[in-house]
């Protein structure tokens, strides 16, 4: 059916329940669209130069291989944590090719590397292509790019085998990796991996690796971190493995495990008044390895050694509960995060016009006040729930204000800031005089040229998943049906202008004045949203699935309002043309 309507033609073709809309409404390409396309190219250019400097022909990172929480195996891939996501947004193929070479190289590099003084790494730092036994602060960071790879290469059989194997370490499928206690629904230690949990006291060598002359802090900072027995919220980072295994294979057992484990944590948090416990004992009881204190534990709320002061209660919870929510749309998985944020604000302080929240809790109650308000989690809460109440503390957030129609200049400013950041990173990389025989494994992280937060916000209407091993949550995602790959096709730009409970408003633009372009628009990062309709130019096109195709004539662009039922479909990583 073809109709001429107000300067564009609308072609509706039903192919596998995927409508195709043909847009011919020409317009000068807006500045944001040109900037978006230029940024994708510039990131890829910088990534190629970065890899040429820091990665050898085998794919090995040019560094001194060490074990531990100071610089260790995870830090190599953390250096490249956004590269696969950049490709899934639309950057050129070289970015994904580089990632594959670096991933394979680092597996060989750290399987050969040893730390003889440690329990877990005396034979090798990696076993079965996975870290032997360490905490999910670091393991998650090392897997960030690995998780996003599912968005670009869901048909990679080696990848699927690895995801299954890695998830199996936490599902009782590998007798050599007895990490999970199904009876108590816990991961049995803060230190866990392909060789199983460490249940004996962890030494400073287990945490800091071998002695490095002139760096006593490698061991001093972990002298209070011996007791690693029992579960910790960081371990919810393992839910990303189960999620990806389900999204790639569709096998119910992976979904069931994520919901079982994340559900147990949900129930514990709510039973604890909305405060995330930082130790669950081997008996399944809150705090039983730390004198019954819910706030105890290594990296727990009151973990406060003289040097580090680290505690981690939010990042694993954000990941684990978020994956369970994406799998089900069940708001009970969101409530623990909302309750935790509310508890922190209930104890807030106001100083010099700033809101300070407690970051620690001990026998004396709340303490350790800082300006950290967990805005990333608050954005998640709003975008998942679409409740105005979750915007309460986001009044100064520029992206949230833009989505509410209050900050129209945000896209241009944010993209300009990304260009400036990229310039500084490239300049720093070129001036870096470190050498492979002195460079730590995290020595180049500060020069990683690729940043995807702004592009995820603007293109997908999604919150930045961060670099801790999370999965992507987004309202939209794009595919190129002509090259059969993930990401926006060449010359196409996208700007999500509004996000509402049952709709998203997106501006699609073909910046090429010469070539027609075609893009598949998917509802949700994993097709989890069900389309109802697409409205533009006074027309309404019904949708019967989680996607539609837009054909854009040279120089064409249009604002579309896409109505949907959220979380109506099982999430899948399969490309649109590979689904039944």
Dist. CA 416–CA 175, nearest whole Å? 52
Q: Is residue 453 part of a domain?
A: no
In a domain, residue 251? The reply is yes
**CB 358 within 8 Å of CB 345:** no
Do residues 264 and 257 make contact, with C-beta atoms less than 8 angstroms apart? no
Same domain, 10 and 84: no
Do the beta carbons of residue 511 and residue 493 sit within 8 Å?
yes
Token readout for 503 is 């709709």
Answer whether 278's CB lies under 8 Å from 268's CB: no
Tokens 């100071």 identify what position? 70
Same domain, 221 and 335: yes
For residue 580, the model assigns a pLDDT of: 66
Q: Is residue 176 part of a domain?
A: yes
What three-state secondary structure class fits 191?
coil
Domain boundary among 387, 409, 431: 409
Using CA atoms, how far apart are residues 436 and 171, in angstroms rounded to an integer? 38
Q: Are 469 and 514 in contact (CB under 8 A)?
A: no
The rounded distance, in Å, linking the Cα atoms of 331 and 381 is: 10
For 406, residues 6+ apart whose C-beta sits below 8 A from its C-beta are: none
User: How far apart are alpha carbons 470 and 73 in whole angstroms?
Assistant: 19
- How far, in Å, are 110, 112, 119, 131, 565 from residue 123 at the CA level? 11, 9, 9, 12, 51
Tell me: do 249 and 354 sit in the same domain.
Answer: yes
Closest CA relative to residue 85, chosen from 151, 129, 143: 151
Is there a single domain that holds both residue 360 and residue 486? no
Question: Based on the domain organization, do 365 and 507 belong to the same domain?
Answer: no
Same domain, 25 and 173: no
Q: Give the closest residue to 509 by CA, choosing from 17, 3, 28.
A: 28
- The DSSP output letter for 77 is H
Cα distance between residue 417 and residue 526, in whole Å: 29
**How many of the other CB atoms lie within 10 Å of CB of 1?**
7
Query: Whole-angstrom Cα distance, residue 172 to residue 186?
Result: 12
Q: Which of 356, 377, 409 is the last residue of a domain?
A: 409
Q: pTM for the full model? A: 0.96
Strand pairing of 20-23 and 547-552?
parallel
Residue 274 and residue 396 in one domain: yes
**CA–CA separation, 143 and 17 (whole Å):** 35
The DSSP string of 246-284 is HHHH--HHHHHHHHHHHHHHHHHHHHTTT---S-B-TTS
Taking a C-beta distance cutoff of 8 angstroms, is the pair 242, 290 a contact?
no
How would you classify the pairing of strands 130-131 and 539-542? unpaired
Calculate the CA dihedral of residues 245, 251, 253, 256 and round it to 10 degrees: 80
- Structural domain containing residue 357: 64-99+108-409
282 Cβ contact partners less than 8 Å away, ≥ 6 residues apart? 181, 184, 186, 188, 199, 229, 230, 288, 289
Burial of 523 (0-12, 13-18, 19+ CB in 10 A): buried
**Do the domain assignments include residue 373?**
yes
Position 130 scores a pLDDT of 98
Residue-wise DSSP of 461-525: ------SSS-----SEEEEETTTTEESPPTTEEEEEEEEETTEEEEEEEE--SS--EEEEEEEST
Please give the pLDDT value at position 8: 32
Same domain? 354 vs 214: yes
Output the six-digit token pair for 41.
Answer: 């190219």
In a domain, 278, yes or no: yes
**Would residue 568 count as lying in a domain?**
yes
Whether 45 is covered by a domain: the verdict is no
Whole-Å CA distances, 352 to 96, 355, 366, 371: 46, 9, 20, 11
Candidates 63, 193, 172; CA nearest to 118 is 193
* CA–CA dist 511, 39 (Å, integer): 14
Whether residue 22 is found in the same domain as residue 71:
no
Distance between CA 501 and CA 169 in Å, rounded? 37
d(CA 380, CA 571): 18
Q: What is the CATH number of the domain that holds 496?
A: 2.60.40.1180
Number of C-beta neighbours around residue 416 at 10 A: 14
Residue 35 domain flag: no
CA-nearest of 324, 327, 289 to 184 is: 289
Q: Which distant-in-sequence residues (6+ apart) come within 8 Å of 113 by Cβ?
A: 65, 67, 73, 121, 124, 125, 126
Helix (H, G, I), strand (E, B) or coil at 397: coil
SS3 assignment, position 319: helix
- Pick from 190, 205, 222, 212: nearest CA to 306: 222
Q: Domain tally for the chain?
A: 2
Residue by residue, pLDDT tens for the chain (580 residues) are 223 223 333 333 334 468 999 999 998 999 999 999 999 999 999 999 999 999 999 999 999 999 999 999 999 999 999 999 999 999 999 999 999 999 999 999 999 999 999 999 999 999 999 999 999 999 999 999 999 999 999 999 999 999 999 999 999 999 999 999 999 999 999 999 999 999 999 999 999 999 998 888 889 889 899 999 999 999 999 999 999 999 999 999 999 999 999 999 999 999 999 999 999 999 999 999 999 999 999 999 999 766 556 889 999 999 999 999 999 999 999 999 999 999 999 999 999 999 999 999 999 999 999 999 999 999 999 999 999 999 999 999 999 999 999 999 999 999 999 999 999 999 999 999 999 999 999 999 999 999 999 999 999 999 999 999 999 999 999 999 999 999 999 999 999 999 999 999 999 999 999 999 999 999 999 999 999 999 998 999 999 999 999 999 999 999 999 999 999 999 999 999 998 6
List b or e across 528-557, with b for residues whose CB sees 16 or more CB atoms inside 10 angstroms. bbbbbbbbbbeeebebebbbbbbbbbebbb
Same domain, 394 and 514: no
Among the listed residues 480, 451, 445, the one whose alpha carbon sits nearest the alpha carbon of residue 466: 451
Based on the fold, state whether residues 23 and 90 are members of the same structural domain. Answer: no
CATH number at residue 177: 1.50.10
Domain boundary among 409, 428, 453: 409
Residues 507 and 563 in one domain: yes
């Amino acid at each position: 059916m073809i109709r001429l309507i107000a300067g564009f033609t609308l072609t509706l073709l039903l192919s596998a329940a995927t409508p195709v809309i043909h847009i011919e409404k020409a317009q000068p390409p807006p500045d944001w669209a040109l900037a978006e396309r230029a940024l994708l190219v510039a990131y890829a250019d910088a990534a190629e130069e970065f890899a040429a400097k820091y990665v050898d022909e085998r794919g090995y990172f040019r560094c001194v291989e060490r074990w531990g929480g100071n610089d260790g195996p995870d830090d190599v891939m953390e250096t490249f944590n956004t590269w696969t996501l950049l490709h899934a947004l639309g950057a050129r193929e070289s970015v994904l090719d580089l990632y594959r070479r670096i991933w394979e190289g680092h597996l060989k590099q750290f399987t050969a590397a040893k730390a003889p003084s440690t329990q877990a790494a005396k034979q090798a730092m990696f076993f079965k292509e996975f870290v032997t036994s360490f905490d999910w602060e670091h393991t998650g960071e090392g897997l960030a790019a690995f998780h996003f790879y599912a968005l670009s290469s869901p048909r990679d059989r080696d990848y699927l085998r690895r995801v299954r194997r890695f998830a199996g370490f936490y599902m009782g499928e590998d007798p050599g990796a007895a990490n999970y206690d199904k009876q108590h629904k816990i991961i049995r230690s803060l230190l866990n991996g392909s060789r199983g949990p460490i249940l004996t006291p962890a030494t400073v060598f287990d945490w800091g690796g071998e002695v490095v002359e002139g760096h006593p802090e490698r061991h001093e900072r972990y002298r209070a971190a011996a007791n690693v027995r029992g579960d910790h919220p960081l371990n919810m980072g393992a839910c990303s493995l189960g999620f990806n295994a389900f999204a790639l294979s569709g096998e119910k057992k992976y979904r069931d495990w994520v919901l079982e484990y994340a559900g147990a944590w949900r129930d514990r948090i709510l039973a604890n008044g909305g405060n995330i416990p930082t130790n669950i004992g081997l008996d399944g009881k809150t705090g039983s390895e730390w004198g019954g204190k819910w706030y105890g534990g290594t990296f727990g709320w009151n973990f406060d050694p003289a040097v580090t002061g680290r505690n981690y209660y939010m990042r694993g919870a954000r990941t684990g509960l978020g994956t369970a929510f994406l799998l089900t749309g069940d708001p009970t998985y969101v409530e623990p995060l909302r309750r935790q944020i509310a508890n922190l604000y209930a104890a807030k302080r106001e100083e010099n016009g700033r809101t300070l929240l407690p970051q620690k809790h001990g026998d004396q109650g709340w303490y350790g006040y800082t300006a950290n308000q967990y805005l990333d989690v608050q954005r998640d809460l709003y975008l998942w729930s679409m409740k105005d109440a979750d915007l309460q503390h986001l009044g100064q957030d520029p992206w949230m204000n833009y989505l509410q129609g209050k900050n129209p200049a945000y896209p241009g400013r944010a993209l300009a800031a990304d260009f400036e950041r990229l310039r500084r990173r490239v300049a720093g990389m070129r001036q870096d005089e470190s050498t492979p025989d002195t460079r730590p494994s995290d020595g180049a992280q500060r020069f990683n040229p690729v940043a995807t937060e702004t592009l995820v916000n603007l293109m997908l209407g999604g919150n930045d998943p961060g670099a801790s091993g999370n999965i992507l949550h987004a309202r939209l995602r794009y595919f190129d049906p002509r090259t059969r790959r993930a990401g926006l096709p060449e010359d196409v730009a996208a700007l999500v202008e509004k996000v509402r409970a049952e709709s998203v408003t997106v501006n699609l633009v073909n910046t090429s004045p010469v070539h027609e372009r075609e893009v598949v628009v998917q509802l949700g990062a994993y097709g989890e949203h069900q389309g109802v309709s697409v409205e533009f130019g006074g027309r309404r096109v019904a949708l019967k699935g989680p996607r539609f195709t837009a054909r854009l004539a040279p120089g064409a662009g249009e604002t579309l309002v896409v109505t949907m039922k959220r979380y109506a479909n099982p999430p899948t990583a399969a490309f649109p043309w590979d689904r039944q």
